[in-house]
């Protein structure tokens, strides 16, 4: 009995340091994950909301480097040896079940159900030389059912059918009615962008400088999905004053909206606001400028 107790005590003494290391690794891992999310949110705000938060991003990167180095030291990695990072492909959802003239089904795992998808792609990857896709049933993680009809056309090996979902969905199950034989359908999707709180007032940029000509600005891609109802123009410098007229807006679907705005003097740092006829998604803003401006700072209001 004494021998058994001694053996047990020796085993506990051997394991306790390992448990302590495990707790430290868990703490570091949680910290890295939290900081990664913080960095991602800061990057989204910089890209989509045009926030000037470079200092926040640099500080977040510094904290990440420190925690990663501590993690490497904890597991005994030598120095700054680069570690290959596995690429996680969130677009791949899985492969549905083989079937002949019936429903090919895929049930997603718990991790996949956390991801919101905006499109679904179904690829014929094995089986008969071609199949026909009929009804497609997508059940969300909350139990909502969406039915789509693929039309029954021929899909040869390697062909893909794409569905645009009515809203970003976290997916629990996908069933595809197949005519002929499939060894399984490869199902993937495009993730929806994580929504962030965008400001009401967004600076679109500064136009070209010009004298008695057109000042033009192409909007950035992250701003184009947004609908704006007002525009503000600021004279950044140049002549003592300028006059603006003949405003022309090109929307994202290439519709041109022309507006004849009142001619008025705009002094340096002065701001002129224009209310648009309706909220619109803007690809380009163009104005005719009288006299010389170093550029028009254009701000949009949602």
Q: Which domains does the chain have, with CATH numbers?
A: 2-74 (no CATH), 92-191 (2.60.120), 201-301 (2.60.120.1380)
**123 vs 47, which has greater pLDDT?**
123
Per 3-state DSSP, what percentage of the chain is helix, strand, and coil (rounded to 5)?
25, 45, 30
Q: Which residues of 100-134 are buried (b: 16+ CB within 10 A; e: fewer)?
A: eeeebebebeeebbebbbbebbbbbeebbeebbbe
pLDDT of residue 12: 46
pLDDT of residue 290: 92
The total of other beta-carbon atoms located within 10 Å of residue 267's CB is 10
- CB burial of residue 155 (10 Å; 0-12, 13-18, 19+): buried
pLDDT of residue 244: 93
Kindly give the interhelix angle for 54-74 and 2-48, rounded to the nearest 10 degrees.
160
Q: Please give the share of the chain, as a percent, with pLDDT higher than 70.
A: 87
Q: Where are the extended beta strands (E) located within 192-270?
A: 201-206, 210-218, 227-235, 242-251, 256-259, 265-266
CA distance 104 to 94: 12
Q: Using an 8 Å Cβ cutoff, are 133 and 161 in contact?
A: yes
pLDDT of residue 15: 46
Structure tokens at 113: 């159900």
pLDDT of residue 93: 92
- Where do runs of H (alpha helix) occur along the chain? 2-48, 54-74
Q: Is 28 helix (H, G, I), strand (E, B) or coil?
A: helix
pLDDT of residue 18: 44
pLDDT of residue 259: 92
pLDDT in tens, 72-101: 888 877 765 555 555 556 688 999 999 999
pLDDT in tens, 109-139: 988 898 999 899 999 999 999 999 999 999 9
Averaged pLDDT of the chain: 85
- Where do runs of H (alpha helix) occur along 75-191? none
CA 153, 154, 157: angle at the middle one, nearest 5?
Answer: 145
The total of other beta-carbon atoms located within 10 Å of residue 136's CB is 20
Phi, psi for 91 (deg, rounded to 5): -75, -25
The residues near 241 (Cβ < 8 Å, ≥ 6 apart) are: 235, 265, 266, 267, 268, 270, 291
Confidence bin at 16 (pLDDT 50/70/90): very low
The residues near 192 (Cβ < 8 Å, ≥ 6 apart) are: 116, 117, 118, 168
Q: Please give the share of the chain, as a percent, with pLDDT higher than 90.
A: 48
CA distance 54 to 43: 9
CA distance 262 to 273: 11
pLDDT in tens, 140-159: 999 999 999 988 888 999 88
Give the mean pLDDT of 250-263.
91
Structure tokens at 273: 């606001």
Confidence bin at 6 (pLDDT 50/70/90): low
pLDDT of residue 200: 87
**30 vs 166, which has greater pLDDT?**
166
pLDDT of residue 121: 92
Give the mean pLDDT of 202-228.
90
């Amino acid at each position: 009995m004494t021998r058994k107790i001694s053996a047990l005590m020796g085993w506990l003494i051997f394991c306790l340091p390992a448990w302590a290391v495990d707790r430290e690794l868990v703490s570091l891992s949680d910290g890295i994950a939290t900081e990664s999310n913080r960095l991602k949110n800061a990057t989204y705000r910089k890209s989509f909301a045009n926030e000037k938060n470079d200092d926040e991003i640099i500080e977040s990167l510094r904290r990440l480097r420190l925690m990663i180095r501590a993690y490497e030291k904890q597991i005994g990695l030598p120095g700054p040896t680069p570690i290959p990072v596995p690429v996680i492909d969130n677009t791949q959802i899985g492969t549905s079940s083989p079937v002949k003239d019936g429903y090919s089904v895929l049930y997603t795992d718990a991790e996949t159900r956390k991801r919101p998808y905006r499109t679904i792609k179904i690829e014929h990857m094995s089986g008969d030389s071609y199949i026909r896709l009929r009804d497609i049933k997508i059940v969300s993680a909350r139990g909502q059912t969406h039915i789509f009809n693929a039309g029954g056309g021929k899909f040869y090996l390697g062909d893909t059918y794409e569905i645009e979902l009515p809203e970003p969905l976290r997916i629990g199950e996908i069933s595809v009615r197949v005519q002929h034989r499939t060894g399984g359908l490869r199902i993937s999707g495009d993730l929806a962008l994580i929504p962030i709180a965008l400001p009401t007032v967004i600076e679109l940029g500064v136009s070209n400088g010009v004298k008695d000509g057109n000042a033009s600005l192409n909007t950035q891609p992250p701003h184009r999905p947004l609908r704006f109802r007002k525009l503000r123009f600021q004279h950044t410098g140049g002549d003592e004053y300028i006059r603006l007229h003949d405003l022309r807006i090109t929307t994202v679907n290439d519709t041109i909206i022309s507006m004849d705005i009142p001619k008025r003097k705009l002094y340096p740092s002065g701001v002129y606001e224009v209310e648009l006829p309706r909220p619109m998604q803007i690809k380009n803003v163009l104005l005719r400028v009288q006299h010389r401006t170093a550029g028009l700072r254009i701000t949009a209001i949602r």
